[in-house]
C-alpha cells in the first residue's frame, strides 16, 4: 500500500513493533533471544559440550568398572580378551575413523556454502560407514552367542578363568552395547540433518546443527578409540596357560 | 558467521594420523612388552582422541569457554578414577582393616 505510506502513518502496533535501529535484518534461523548468529552458534556448541561432559562420565562409570575388575584378574582378562576377533575390531576402528572424516567434511561443506547435494553426500557417506560399523558389530555379537560367550546361565568357557571371563564379557556387552546404542541414535540424528541439508537449510551463515551433530558423532568415535584397545588388544599377545 | 574453515588437506592429514595410530596400536599389542603394553595402547589412544577433539571437533579454534568445559569433563573423569582407586588399591594397607573385597583371582 504505497499511497498509505505517503499520506497516512498508522501508529505502531504494540505487540509487533517495527525493528529497532540497532537490530539489523535478522536471519530466519536466528532465535529472538540471541543477538547474533555468532552468539547463537557459540551457545549451541557450548551446550553440546556440556552434554558431552555428562556422556564422558556416563561411559566413565563403565571404564571405572573395567579398571577395578581387570585389576582383580589381569590374566583372566587377557585370556577372555584373546577370544575377541581382532580383525573385525581393527576393521571397525578404521570404519569409524573414516566416518569421522566424512562427518568433518560434511561440516566443512556446510561451512563453505557448498551445494545441498555435496552436503548430503558427505552425510550419507557418514551414515554408510556408521551402518557398516553396526553390521560388523552384529556379526561379532552373533559369533559370541553361537559360542556361548554371552554372560548368563548358558555362558560356557573352556579356558582357565571362567569367572573373570564372564565378568569381561559382561562389561564387553555393556560397553559395546551402550556404544552401539549411541551409534543408532547418531544414525537417526544424521537422517534428520541430511533431510535438512537436502532442503538447502545450511550455508556459511547457518550450519550449527551440522556442527553440533558432528560433535556428537566424533565423541562416539572417541569412545570407540578407547574401547578398541582396552577390549580387543589386551589379549593380543596371550599365549594361553 | 565467522567459523574457522580448515583446508581439506588438514582433515585428510588428521585422518591419516588416526589410521597410522590404529595400525601401530594393533601391531604393538601383538608383542609382549609386559606392563608397557598398557602404556603404549593408552598413549596412542589418548593421542588419537586429542587429534579428534582439537581438529575434527574444532576445539583448536573454539572459545576459551569451550576449552574449559571440554577439559572439565575429562578432569571430573580423572577425579572419579583417582578417588575410586585410592579405595580399591589401598585396601588392607592399614593393620586391622579388612583386606581387599576384590582379591586377585588366581585360578579355577
The verdict on a CB contact (< 8 Å) between B1 and A38 is yes
Mean pLDDT over the full length of chain B: 88
Domain count for chain B, please give it: 2
State whether B47 and B74 are in the same domain: no
Stretch A21-41: mean pLDDT: 80
Domain count for chain A, please give it: 1
Q: Which among A41, A56, A205 has the least Cβ separation from residue B77?
A: A56
Q: Is the pLDDT of residue A167 over 70?
A: yes
pLDDT bucket at B108, cuts 50 / 70 / 90: very low
Q: Is the pLDDT of residue B53 over 70?
A: yes
| Beta-carbon contacts of residue A12 (< 8 Å; ≥ 6 apart) | A18
Residue ranges making up the domain that contains B14: 7-61
State the pTM of this model: 0.88
pLDDT bucket at A20, cuts 50 / 70 / 90: low
Stretch B60-89: mean pLDDT: 94
Give the pLDDT score at A157: 95
Give the pLDDT score at A108: 97
State whether B57 and B67 are in the same domain: no
Stretch B73-94: mean pLDDT: 90
Q: Would you list the DSSP string of chain A?
A: -HHHHHH--PPPPTTSPPPPTTSPPPPTT--TT-SSHHHHHHHHHHHHHHHHHHHHHHHHHHHHHHHHHHHH-HHHHHHHHHTS-HHHHHHHHHHHHHHHHHHHHHHHHHHTT--HHHHHHHHHHHHHHHHHHHHHHHHHHHHHHHTT-SSSTT----SS-HHHHHHHHHHHHHHHHHHHHHHHHHHHHHHHHHHHHHTT--BTTB-HHHHHHHHHHHHHHHHHHHHIIIIIITTTT----
Give the pLDDT score at A32: 85
The verdict on a CB contact (< 8 Å) between A72 and B30 is no
Q: Quick check: B75 contacting A, CB < 8 Å? A: no
How far is the C-alpha of A127 from the C-alpha of A106, rounded, in Å? 11
Residue ranges making up the domain that contains A118: 38-233
Q: Which residue has the cell 596400536?
A: B25
Q: Is the pLDDT of residue B100 over 80?
A: no
pLDDT bucket at A28, cuts 50 / 70 / 90: confident
pLDDT bucket at B90, cuts 50 / 70 / 90: confident
State whether B35 and B15 are in the same domain: yes
Q: Is A26 left (phi over 0), alpha (psi -120 to 50) or beta?
A: beta
Q: Quick check: A26 contacting B, CB < 8 Å? A: no
State whether B80 and B51 are in the same domain: no
- pLDDT (tens digit, 9 = 90+) per residue, B12-44? 999 999 999 999 999 999 999 988 999 999 999
Stretch A147-164: mean pLDDT: 94
> In this predicted model, which residue has the larger pLDDT, A190 or B34?
A190
Q: Is residue A223 part of a domain?
A: yes
Give the pLDDT score at B1: 55
| Beta-carbon contacts of residue B73 (< 8 Å; ≥ 6 apart) | A49, A52, A53, A56, A57
Determine which of A41, A233, A234, A238 to mutate to test the interface with B (most B C-beta atoms within 10 Å): A233
How far is the C-alpha of A157 from the C-alpha of A197, rounded, in Å? 50
A:92-121 residues touching chain B, CB 8 A cutoff: 93-94, 97-98, 100-101, 103-105, 107-108, 111-112
Q: Is the pLDDT of residue B98 over 70?
A: no
Nearest CA in chain B to A42: B63
Among candidate residues B3, B60, B8, the one with its CA nearest the CA of residue A104: B8
State whether B56 and B79 are in the same domain: no
Amino acid at each position: 500500500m504505497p499511497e498509505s505510506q505517503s499520506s497516512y502513518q498508522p501508529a505502531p502496533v504494540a505487540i509487533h513493533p517495527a525493528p529497532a535501529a540497532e537490530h539489523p535484518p535478522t536471519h530466519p534461523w536466528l532465535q529472538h533471544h540471541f543477538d547474533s548468529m555468532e552468539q547463537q552458534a557459540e551457545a549451541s556448541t557450548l551446550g553440546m559440550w556440556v552434554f558431552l561432559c555428562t556422556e564422558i562420565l556416563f561411559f566413565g562409570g563403565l571404564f571405572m568398572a573395567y579398571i577395578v575388575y581387570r585389576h582383580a584378574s589381569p590374566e583372566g582378562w587377557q585370556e577372555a580378551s584373546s577370544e575377541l576377533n581382532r580383525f573385525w575390531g581393527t576393521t571397525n576402528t578404521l570404519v569409524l575413523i573414516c566416518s569421522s572424516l566424512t562427518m568433518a567434511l560434511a561440516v566443512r561443506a556446510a561451512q563453505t556454502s557448498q551445494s545441498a547435494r555435496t552436503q548430503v553426500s558427505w552425510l550419507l557417506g557418514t551414515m554408510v560407514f556408521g551402518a557398516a560399523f553396526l553390521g560388523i558389530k552384529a556379526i561379532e555379537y552373533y559369533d559370541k552367542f553361537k559360542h556361548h560367550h554371552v554372560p548368563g546361565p548358558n555362558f560356557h568357557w573352556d579356558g582357565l578363568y571362567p569367572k573373570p571371563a564372564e565378568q569381561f564379557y559382561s562389561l564387553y556387552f555393556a560397553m559395546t552395547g551402550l556404544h552401539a546404542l549411541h551409534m543408532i541414535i547418531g544414525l537417526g540424528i544424521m537422517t534428520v540433518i541430511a533431510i535438512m541439508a537436502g532442503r538447502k537449510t545450511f550455508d556459511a551463515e547457518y550450519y550449527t546443527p551440522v556442527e553440533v551433530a558432528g560433535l556428537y558423532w566424533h565423541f562416539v568415535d572417541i569412545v570407540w578409540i578407547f574401547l578398541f584397545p582396552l577390549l580387543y588388544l589386551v589379549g593380543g599377545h596371550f599365549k594361553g596357560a | 558467521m565467522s567459523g574457522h574453515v580448515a583446508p581439506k588437506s588438514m582433515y585428510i592429514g588428521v585422518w591419516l594420523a588416526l589410521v597410522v595410530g590404529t595400525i601401530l596400536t594393533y601391531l604393538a599389542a601383538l608383542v609382549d612388552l609386559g606392563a608397557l603394553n598398557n602404556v603404549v595402547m593408552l598413549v596412542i589412544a589418548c593421542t588419537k582422541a586429542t587429534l579428534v577433539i582439537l581438529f575434527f571437533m574444532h576445539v583448536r579454534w573454539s572459545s576459551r569457554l569451550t576449552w574449559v568445559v571440554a577439559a572439565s569433563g575429562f578432569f571430573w573423569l580423572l577425579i572419579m578414577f583417582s578417588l575410586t582407586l585410592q579405595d580399591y588399591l589401598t585396601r588392607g594397607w592399614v593393620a586391622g582393616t579388612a583386606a581387599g573385597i576384590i582379591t586377585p583371582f588366581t585360578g579355577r
